[in-house]
Amino acid sequence: MLRIAHFSDLHFCAKNLDEAARCFGFAVSEAIAREVDVAVISGDATDHALDVHSPAVRTLAQEVRRLADSCPVLMLQGTYSHEPPGTLSIFPLLGGRHPVLVADRLGQVALMVDGRWLASQRWRFDSVPRGARALFTCVPTVNKADVAAVVGALDAAEAVGHQLAALLAGYATVNEAARAEGVPTLGVAHGTVSGCVTEHGVPMAGFDHEFTTTSLFSARAQAFLLGHIHQHQAWQDDGRWIAYAGSIGRFHHGEREAKGFLLWQVAAASTNWQFIATPARRTVDLVFEGAPDPTEIERAVKELALAGAWVRVRWQIGEEERSSVDRDAIRRVLADAADVQLEGRVVPVVRSRAEGISQATSLAEKVRRWCELASAETAPLLERLAQLAHAEPARIVEGILAGPSQAIASDPEPVPAHDASLHPLAVFE
Q: Which is nearer to Mn ion, 42 or 218 (CB)?
A: 42
18-47 positions binding Mn ion, by CB under 5 A: 44
Cα–Cα distances (Å) from 235 to 166, 195, 225, 242, 255, in that order, read 20, 11, 11, 5, 21
Q: Which stretch binds Mn ion (CB under 5 A): 1-9, 104-112, 121-129, 301-309?
A: 1-9
E-strand spans in 83-161?
100-103, 107-112, 117-119, 132-139
Of 6-14, 98-106, 200-208, 316-324, which segment contacts Mn ion by CB under 5 A? 6-14
3-state secondary structure 260-295: EEEEEEECCCCEEEEEEECCCCCEEEEEECCCCCHH
**Which residues, 6+ apart, have CB-to-CB distance to 206 below 8 Å?**
194
Binding mask 103-142 for Mn ion (x = CB under 5 A): ----------------------------------------
Give the binding-site size for Mn ion (rule: CB under 5 A): 2
Stretch that binds Mn ion, among 5-13, 30-38, 269-277, 338-346 (CB under 5 A): 5-13
Nearest to 58 by CA among 26, 82, 85, 94: 94
Q: Cβ closer to Mn ion: 48 or 116?
A: 48
Extended beta strands in 22-121, E state = 38-41, 73-76, 100-103, 107-112, 117-119
Q: Is 9 in the site for Mn ion (CB under 5 A)?
A: yes
Gap between the Cα atoms of 99 and 23, Å rounded: 23
Strands 310-318 and 339-347: parallel
Q: Does 255 bind Mn ion (CB under 5 A)?
A: no
CB of 17 to Mn ion, least distance (A): 16
- Considering the complex, what minimum distance in angstroms separates the CB of residue 82 from Mn ion? 6
* Residue 44 C-beta: closest distance to Mn ion, Å: 4
First to last CA, the chain: 71
Residue 177 vs 234, nearer CB to Mn ion: 234
If the CB atoms of residues 9 and 37 are measured against Mn ion, the closer one turns out to be 9
Supply the minimum distance, in Å, between the C-beta of residue 112 and Mn ion.
Answer: 30
Where in 44-103 is the site for Mn ion (CB under 5 A)? Answer: 44
Torsion 49-55-58-64 (CA) sign: negative
User: Of 44 and 210, which has the nearer Cβ to Mn ion?
Assistant: 44
- Applying CB under 5 A, the residues found at the interface with Mn ion are 9, 44
